[in-house]
Structure 1
């Protein structure tokens, strides 16, 4: 019986795949900011806070934070820069404040989220969540 259950278990997509697929399906927007539930993905970007992410013809500066029960992404289309110093600084700040501000942000987001979209991956569809519906292609 456990063999049947194990074979039928759904494999979750990596968070990085959801990030890439959303940026592609949104036609490489100038910016975006969204949440994805930890329970919907494998967190393959754990420990990364500020980094470059290449999608198609675009490079994005990604600010990423774990804010339980979500992972929060804020992406801005920008030229490649070395972001190692900023990445380490954000990581240290998260450790110093024990993650409490991010926990509070995540818990309050549960009540503030007003819009969701589906991101298609090879492992299935994943919902991502927004505080407000975004105007696709808007510079603000």
Structure 2
């Protein structure tokens, strides 16, 4: 089982431990100076996906709350982050998860394929566990509010 202590020990022993996707998320938001919003892709192969099953949730970084929309779109995980006040997103999260299951994940797979063709910018995110490259469809305006 991938989340088990044994699995983590095995990966660490082999020297293949990767940063958690949540650590990359937090590090990216801090590296950008807690932006109003950002949207990026990270390769599954570059991180340990510790937020699997979450689609819409709150994420707090240095007293700033973000609403996170997350979806797996192989070979990437897509994150869309917006600064917003805390809100109960559990109903939205369940709805998005149900929609992904009902359509067998096919739109997510198509999104990942399309993104592979359209990604035009990348940035390195430094984490305590190493540097990870994240990808964007286009270079973001770092001061944008919308």
Q: TM-score, normalised by structure 2?
A: 0.90
Name the structure 2 match of 1:3.
none
- The answer on 1:118 being equivalent to 2:124 is yes
Name the structure 1 match of 2:70.
64
- The answer on 1:80 being equivalent to 2:86 is yes
- The answer on 1:135 being equivalent to 2:141 is yes
SS of the aligned residue for 2:25 comes to helix
Aligned-residue CA RMSD in angstroms? 1.0
- Number of residue-to-residue matches in the alignment: 135
Residue number among 13, 16, 19 corresponding to 1:13 in the alignment:
19
Superposition deviation, residue 9 in structure 1? 1.6
Unaligned runs of 5+ in 1: 1-5
Superposition deviation, residue 57 in structure 1? 2.6
Name the structure 2 match of 1:108.
114
Name the structure 2 match of 1:98.
104
Unaligned runs of 5+ in 2: 1-11
Provide the C-alpha distance between the structure 1 equivalents of 2:71 and 2:142, rounded to a whole number of angstroms. Answer: 23
